[in-house]
Chain A
Amino acid sequence: MLRRAIGETMPKIEIAKADLEALVGQEIRPKDLEELLMTAKVELEGVDAATGMLKLDCKDTNRPDLWCVEGIARQLRGSLDREVGAPNYNVTKGKVVVEVDKKVAKVRPLVVGAVIRNLKFNDLAIKQLIQLQEKVALTWGRKRRDAAIGVYDFDKIKAPIRYTTFKDNEIKFIPLESTEQMSPKQILERHPKGKEYGHLIAGSDFPILIDAADNVLSMPPVINSAWTGKVTEQTKNVFVEVTGWDERIVSLALNVVVTALADRGGKIESVTIKSGKSIVTPDLGSSSVTVDPDQIRKFLGLQLSDAEIIKLLERARYDAKPKDEKLVCIWPGYRADVMHVRDIIEDAGILFGYNEMQPDVPRLHTPGGQTIFEEFCVQLKELGIGLGFQEIMTFILTNKENLFRKMESAVLPITEIANPVSANWSAMRSWLTPSVLEFLAKNMHVEYPHRVFEVGDCVMLDERAETRTRTLRQICMVATDTKVGYQDLASVLDALLRNLGIVYKLQSCSCPHYIDGRATEIIACENSIGTLGEIHPQVLNNWGLGKPVTALELSVDALWELVSKKRGAPIPKKHVHKVL
């Protein structure tokens, strides 16, 4: 979890404080701003010194309604008790029809739309609209794949609008940010947006929104036309459409945009989508769930009266109506995140204020403990230090070149990354010695002798394991200096194993990364538990190492097993690994 939680795709937006205050209807003191913004689940990251814009992190990736100044202001009006309950948006029945051609089914099947009239755009409002469009399409619409939003000057459009496909040679239009008539393929090849999003429609049929006068509105989800697809301060009425693949996603995206525009004084008019059956969009209908106020009290750990709970919910922009000792909670159509009573409880908690609650450490008596395996590893590290070695930590990710070729070893099947960021980090290591040699190679300028060790994890393929792999823990110790030899580490090995009470014998072995005749396999209870030897000069050359190196690598899992056996204890499982 945390800062590094996956899904840290949280939108970052900028809004003008004056714009926010105008929409909220009051001034906000700077010292109140941060705490107040929290009620809209946005974090004040900073203020742009040059423009005075507030930089915000929108925390809730499931609440696109809170990714614009209009939505934040809507919540803040509730938080400040200026306007409470679920906002009500009127949708007037409009005449505009979008005719959907069957041909779009395989290309980009869904479209929804609305007309917003009576708008007065200023520069800030236009910027907010563009920002909202972009952020919703990026995060909510998964980089425009699931939803992309188009906004057009409605007065330049002649209804009905058609949503259909064209072949490359059948159509040309001037895309936004260009002055040149281009075919769909030319846009994909030459226009910056075409290059960025072209892969979403890279077939032979291109989805096109076109009006009754054969003016192209856009080629979703890539680019609008320069003629209709631009909103200026002169624009009075707009047509908004959302295309995509997922009904829930496109509908919510449309609702978020139209309610934001409505909050700026726009009047929402519906559009009829004709695709076999007719549907009317936007659908701003509300939803509801019944909540037991006791559950809210118990869950938050707060003594609240029903009236207080209702007030909190209303300030969180729900309607909350008592019914048979319970509350019916109603939320508006721009939200699709409420899946569980918990979602409502959280909103009540936020409006109460997390910093207003008294933290209460639960008195749970549980004995603490670390896995004895981890404890064993700490002991091993202590021995390593006692023998005069510096502990190091290296990455588990590496590459086949390091694991095999530089070690003069045959390439074996290992765990490989399908989508590496860099070829350097394209596999998970199966042994530790290469990582430690790599470390030595980076430190040739540092005063010798070098004696370093790592106790680290590696991953080995295992067909029988649930994850087809096993996590191994290994220890690797190396010594390098102008003069260093087999005997130096043989003594270290002996000290290490003697201190663990492990009886062992050595058996000459032949490993390609060691010098022949100067390598040994370490045997305990008839099993090989590791190797020790002088690194082969060819391997030293491969790593660019200039001084002799002696290394040992042991399986910590095997050591652990031997130590446990000796104690007569059952071998405790290191990880939860269900074998098939």
Chain B
Amino acid sequence: MPTWGHSHFVVRALESLLAQELADWELVVVDDGSPDDTHAVLEPYLADPRIHLERLEQNEGLGAALNRALDLARGELIAYLPSDDVVYEEHLETLAARLEVEPEAVLAYSGVRHHGDRVSEGAIEGEALQLVQVMHRRTADRWVERDELTTDDLERMLWSRLRARGAFVATGQVSCEWVDHPAQRHKVVREGAYSGLNPYRSRYGVRRPLRFHSSVGNRTDEVELYRSFRERPETPRAPDGLTILLVGELAWNPERVLALEERGHRLLGLWTPEPWGFNTVGPLPFGHVEDVPRAGWEDAVRRLRPDVIYAQLNWQAVPFAHEVLTRSPDIPFVWHLKESPFHCLGEGTWPRLVDLCTRSDGQIYTSEELRGWMTAMIPSPNGHLPPLVLDGDLPKREWFDGEPSARLSKADGDPHTFVPGRAMGLDLELVDELARAGIHLHLYGEFTGEGVTWLQAAERLAPRHVHRHGLVTQADWVREFSRYDAGWLHVFRSRNGGDLRRATWDDLNVPARLPTLMAAGVPPLQRDNAGSTVAMQRLVREPGVGVFLRDARELRDELLDKAHMEPLRHRLQEVRGQFTFDHHADRLIDYLRLVIEARA
């Protein structure tokens, strides 16, 4: 029985074991670093000599907890009972009996009730066999542990290796329940809203970088990605260095904040308890940031006396940032907003966003357009510091360092474009139009769900011009993407006609892929929205580094026109450094100091 933080569930599971018809069992409970009173709840049950409790000091993950139990278990047959599940009285008996009559079988599974009153005779549709329904023979095989991989896929964690050793047989009887509730482990692992890598890290307080691949998402290897940052020594504190408390979440390019640490400032972190998968929260996998424990954070913050709170960034952080704003009135507070006021309206957190923008000591907005929109809606009170404009999620400069590759168009004479993420707004009609003009489209990512359907349709439509590629990490941005003539930003038609009140999020947003393209030195490509206020349009028009789609044939000519593209690429090389966070770090620090002075 692996368990973590289930003190309100574990009694139910134990009682269902104690009620088994078969009495000849031992139970090894492995408490994987529970933060609650699980131990106290289990205590009375330890009087039963069949029950042992093994406590791990820190959470090590399901694989390690199960392996510890496998090492301790003495039975010839191993069953699992997660502490939030329930077995019915004949469960162990029927599974054991099945293995007895099937000497070739290595594993037996029962039918299982799930999601209320649904039942399944074997694996639940869309799921691997679940722990509660399995009994297998004692084995030297072990579960995949966290150092290797974190996943919700139990097949990958163990079953696949057992399969190689013998048959899996069914009892054909429903004798247990996989109890559906929101705090189940697979739900926090599997990517979706409020789940995935960062929610997993946050829940279990994992201090190490993760290798993470859920059954629905992309593979992430933080160990490799952040090695150089993590393994370097701390920067000595500068004489006038600030202590900066980061609050909220750090989004896609979290290691950017090290640009502040590299300048001799000390970073503390206090993270939103409800991040989405891509909202990076601590314990940070690249080091050099000290976490403030969320429980009792007010006392800890009083003790650590930060010079300034730097709260950020997307809508998921708004409720927690607001809580910190309200409860830390004595510390200068800066609020940095990216995506987005529209999301806050939809979530019902608009009132809190307004507080963050009007009651904080300083505000930072990701684009001129966002600042304009916010201040048109909520004029700043007189006497306040003017807000700063800075994209809150720019990458760290190291990712701009790679060696560029030769462009594909040099080899075949056709223009090659690429999409560094979801193909936002690239409908099939446009794909077709591009292909007819001889423009290639390269798509990157691990395609799942609706993405696959779209991709397959695009490939059917333009088999010679649509190409798919795997995911590319920051370290390969330059090498991989520099092969292209241009890269697609979100494709959309703006309709605001220059009136900010009519703007949508597409108009105000600076998508993360813009700095990605800049890193690779590739001209950004977008629909021509002349006459409307569009942040990503202005950002590339001003330095003259963008390409604009009006007509596919015209675009082909433009991309192949050396006299036009070479100077454009040259200008891009000159300005691309401005799209690193490092470039703006001093400016940001100056703003933080202004805020601190204004309070003093």
* B is bound to A: no
Chain A residues engaging chain B, CB cutoff 8 angstroms: none
